[in-house]
Structure 1
Amino acid sequence: MTSPYTPHRTARSEYRTIRGLRYHVQVWGAAQGAQPPLVMLHGWMDVGASFQFVVDALAQDRHVIAPDWRGFGLTQAPGADCYWFPDYLGDLDALLDALAPGQAVDLVGHSMGGNVAMIYAGVRPERVRRLVNLEGFGLPETTPDQAPARYAKWLDELKTPMELRSYDSLDAVAERLCKNNPLLRPEFASWLAPHWAQPAEDGRWVILGDPAHKRTNPVLYRKEEVLACWRRITAPTLWVEGDRTNLAQWWGERYPRADFEARLAVVPRLRREVLSPAGHMLHHDQPEALARLLDDFLS
């Protein structure tokens, strides 16, 4: 097994009751300081600790807050049949009230977290000083005629318990992380593995994610509603993507790049950057380069 990465800045775990759930939050640095809190939101099947490499590479010792979303990491799962996107907005709003009351924060979101951050910044523009979206592309546009089939698929999936694959060792978890992302450094994978999984009673390692996350969401993605929120963003916004990311790898022809470009065009005060070489997990692939961008943009 490769020796795990050694963090330069130590995180502490805090737990808060957020909307009835026991929420786990990774916190770096002290709350005092001239700069506002830096809040970092992870993506689907990830955890707040995933930002450790970027936090270590920041030039300044920022006060950083990175929650595990509901049903991920060490945050309690709601025990629901599936997850509803508005709940992430509700959780974020309550978290900011608890951890940064009355403050405008610097908000960074990756993938799913980027989608949450963008909508939140349009709904609560006074709460966001600077906004960074790391490949939160949104989803393919849907039409009302898709609703019957979507509901039927959801009902069918409710009849069968969802499961996540388990692993026989931490090494196997780290190997899976590297397989998912060939650019991931082995020492990063070894460090991430115990944050991404935990041992079960049978000794196998299970992913720290509620299997219900895999179920189809019966609610259609309404692009125009999302864009109405994006248009109301007042914070300077930084979009960052990896040069190896290809929308077609997830959605084929259902979500053309031109569609995304048209969506991003509605965001006021937008700056764009591309990291290389980097894929979707750009905070793992290029943490030092990403940290330099954040230092410059958030200064």
Structure 2
Amino acid sequence: MKPNPESRCEQLDVRGLRYNVRHWGAADAPPVFFLHGWMDNSATFQFVVGALAQDWHVIAPDWRGYGASEWLRRPYWFPDYYADLDALLAHYSPHRPARLVGHSMGGNIAGVYSGARPQRVSQVAILDVLGLKDGSADDAPKRLDQWLDAVLADPQLRRYADHDALARRLQQANPRLTEDRAAFLARNVSRVLPDGQVEMACDPWHKTAAPAPYRLDDTLACWRAITAPVLLLVSEEGYVVDRFPADSDDYRQRLACFTDLRVATVAGAGHNLQHDQPEQVAAALENFLLRD
């Protein structure tokens, strides 16, 4: 593993919002886009980048409302992420299809986008996510009622006395985190408040649930439209295994949507496989991304 590879950040206007985009590697190296998950930011990929054997230009945005990108401080509309990704690819890869790597929410965005714009994606790796549980139309009135209440509230995130306290909380939530990795994440996925306390660098409005139920059929249709090769990395003790058992019809139905699919299991990892087993993740990605 490369010792603490340095990243650099630039500010970019994306559809009228200030976006923070993190880069690792030389600008003329083969580009690959890393897309982070919910309540996270681009720095989450530091350990995977350090484990990459080849030279890559890793381009990792902070999604709107995360990290150093602009926060709306009001409810978010999920399709904006697809449009933001489209704009980012137009800026950084205007003339060639892009390699996409997405973790959790970022994997859901990458998968759906790859079906909507198949000509813009050459390969897509989806890390420990396989869509969400199908929503029920019967839940629509209750969800909308809860959302209406939520938009009148003032959402807050939990605060910590300092970075060390946040690092301890991260290790409590994920015992696989080493002290060094927890300390890095505590300083790089958080922000310091005026009173010196620390909180995660995420707009608390992201915790407000969407007003409409999730429609699985829409996602499956997008997956069926993907023409690029797909890699699904499943954590041994992650979300996919927990939500979609391998012997279930639901799991088989989802996998059957992908025309060109490779599935690999990351041993000894929970949902945040990029933290738990970055060497395994990096090796699987490079084996997949270098196929062509």
Superposition TM-score tier, normalisation by shorter sequence: over 0.9
Question: 5 Å matches for 1:224-235?
Answer: 224-235=217-228
Secondary structure of the equivalent of 2:206? helix
TM-score normalised to structure 1 length: 0.92
The offset of 1:40, in angstroms, is 0.4
The offset of 1:79, in angstroms, is 3.1
Q: Which residue of 1 aligns with 2:162?
A: 169
Of 282, 285, 288, the residue aligned with 1:297 is: 288
The offset of 1:257, in angstroms, is 5.1
Distance 1:172 1:191, change over 3 A: same
- Tell me if the contact between 1:7 and 1:52 (Cα under 8 Å) persists in the aligned partners: no
Q: Deviations over 1:80-131 (max 9, x none)?
A: 2x22110110110011111221221110000000000000100111111111
The offset of 1:160, in angstroms, is 1.6
Of 178, 190, 193, the residue aligned with 1:197 is: 190
Distance 2:99 2:78 in 1: 21
Question: 5 Å matches for 1:47-196?
Answer: 47-80=41-74, 82-196=75-189
Distance 2:244 2:33 in 1: 32
Secondary structure of the equivalent of 2:54? coil
Distance 2:124 2:18 in 1: 26
Q: Which residue of 1 aligns with 2:16?
A: 20
The offset of 1:223, in angstroms, is 0.8
Distance 2:22 2:50 in 1: 13
Q: Which residue of 1 aligns with 2:252?
A: 261
Secondary structure of the equivalent of 2:282? helix
Task: Give the gaps of 5 or more residues in structure 2.
Answer: none
Identity %: 46
Stretch moving more, 90-99 or 113-122 = 90-99
Q: Deviations over 1:21-44 (max 9, x none)?
A: 1100110122324x3x10000000
The offset of 1:261, in angstroms, is 3.1
- Tell me if the contact between 1:113 and 1:136 (Cα under 8 Å) persists in the aligned partners: no
The offset of 1:169, in angstroms, is 0.8
Distance 1:175 1:129 in 2: 40
| Paired amino acid for 1:47 | N
Question: 5 Å matches for 1:242-281?
Answer: 242-246=235-239, 258-281=249-272
Secondary structure of the equivalent of 2:13? strand
- Tell me if the contact between 2:160 and 2:199 (Cα under 8 Å) persists in the aligned partners: yes
| Paired amino acid for 1:183 | R
Of 255, 262, 283, the residue aligned with 2:274 is: 283
| Paired amino acid for 1:274 | T
Task: Give the gaps of 5 or more residues in structure 1.
Answer: none
| Paired amino acid for 1:32 | D
Distance 1:123 1:172 in 2: 42
Distance 1:200 1:298 in 2: 40
Distance 1:20 1:195 in 2: 25
TM-score normalised to structure 2 length: 0.94
Distance 1:264 1:86 in 2: 23
What root-mean-square deviation, in Å, do the aligned CA atoms of Structure 1 and Structure 2 show? 1.9
- Tell me if the contact between 1:24 and 1:75 (Cα under 8 Å) persists in the aligned partners: yes
